[in-house]
Structure 1
Amino acid sequence: MTELSLRAARPEDLDALCALEQRCFSSDRLSRRRLRHWIAASNRELLIALRDGVALGYGLVLLHRGTRLARLYSLAVAPEARGLGLGKQLLTTLEAATTRRGRLYMRLEVAEDNQQAIGLYQSLGYQRFGTWNDYYEDHQNALRMQKRIRYVPENLQANRVPWYQQTTPFTCGPAAAMMAMASLRPTQELSRGEELDLWREATTIYMTAGHGGCHPVGLALAAQRRGFKAQALINRQGPLFLDGVRSSEKKALIELVHERFIASAQDNGVTVRYQDVSQDDLARWIARGAMILVLISTWRLDRKKAPHWVAITAIDEECLYINDPDPGDDQSALDCQSMPIARSDFDRMSLFGRDRLRTAVVIENARAD
Structure 2
Amino acid sequence: MSFQTIRRPSASGSQSARSVTVRRASRADLPALERIEAESFSGDRLSPRSLRTLIARPSASVLVAQLGAEVVGSVIVLYRRTASVGRLYSLAVEPRARGLGVAVKLLGAAEEDAVSRRQSAVRLEVRADNAAAIALYDRAGYRISGRRTNYYQDGETALLFRKTLAPQKAAASVARAAAAAR
Q: Which residue of structure 2 lines up, in the alignment, with residue 97 of structure 1?
A: 113
Alignment partner of 1:67 is 2:83: yes
Instruction: Work out which of the residue numbers 32, 37, 41 in structure 2 matches 1:25.
Output: 41
Instruction: Report the Cα distance in structure 1 between the residues aligned to 2:128 and 2:102, rounded to whole angstroms.
Output: 21
Aligned mates of 1:15, 1:123 — CA distance in 2: 31
Deviations 1:167-206 (A, max 9, x none): xxxxxxxxxxxxxxxxxxxxxxxxxxxxxxxxxxxxxxxx
The letter for the 2-side match of 1:86 is V
Equivalences for residues 240-279 of structure 1 within 5 A: none
- Aligned partner of 2:22 in structure 1 is 6
Question: Is the 8 Å Cα contact of residues 10 and 39 (structure 1) preserved in structure 2?
Answer: yes
Partners of 2:157 and 2:111 in 1: CA distance: 25
TM-score normalised by the chain length of structure 2: 0.81
| Bigger relative contact order, structure 1 or 2 (CA pairs below 8 A, ≥6 apart) | 2
How far apart are the structure 2 equivalents of 1:150 and 1:52? 31
CA displacement at 1:52 relative to structure 2: 2.7
Retained in 2: the 8 A contact 1:45–1:98?
Answer: no
* Contact 1:11 1:36 (C-alpha < 8 Å) held by counterparts: yes
Aligned to 2:172: none
Task: State the Cα distance separating 1:65 from its structure 2 match.
Answer: 1.4
Deviation (angstroms), 1:107: 0.2
Contact 1:14 1:36 in 2 (8 A): yes
Q: Does structure 2 retain, via aligned residues, the 8 Å contact 1:58–1:90?
A: yes
Partner of residue 78, structure 1: 94
Q: CA RMSD in A?
A: 1.0
Matched, 1:36 2:70: no
Give the percent of matched residue pairs that are identical in Structure 1 and Structure 2.
Answer: 40
Q: 2:156 aligns with which of 140, 144, 165?
A: 140
Q: Secondary structure at the match of 1:3?
A: strand
The one-letter amino acid of 1:64's match is R
Matched with 1:111 is 127
Q: Partners in 2 of 1:68 and 1:52 — Cα distance? A: 34
Question: Where do 5+ consecutive residues of structure 2 fail to align?
Answer: 1-16, 168-182
- Aligned with 1:66: secondary structure? coil
Aligned residue identity for 1:65 = R
Rg larger for:
1
Letter in 1 for 2:84: R
Distance in 2 separating the partners of 1:47 and 1:135: 25
Match of 1:54 in 2: 70
Is the contact made by 1:72 and 1:107 (CA closer than 8 Å) also made in structure 2?
A: yes
Structure 1 residue 117 displacement after superposition? 0.4
SS of the residue 2:86 aligns to: strand
Q: How many residues align?
A: 151
Counterpart mapping for 1:177-256 below 5 A: none
Which AA in structure 2 matches 1:59?
A: V
TM-score by length of 1: 0.40
| Aligned AA (2:144) | R
The runs of 5 or more residues in structure 1 that have no matched partner are 152-369
Output one character per residue of 1:315-344: Cα deviation in whole Å (capped at 9) or x when no partner.
xxxxxxxxxxxxxxxxxxxxxxxxxxxxxx
Where 1:20 maps in the other structure, the secondary structure is helix
Per-residue displacement from partner, 1:97-133 (whole Å, max 9, x unpaired)? 1101110110000011111100000001100011111
**Structure with more strand by fraction:** 2
Listed one character per residue, the Cα deviations across residues 23-66 of structure 1 (whole Å, up to 9, x for unaligned) are: 11111000000000001000011110112321110000001111
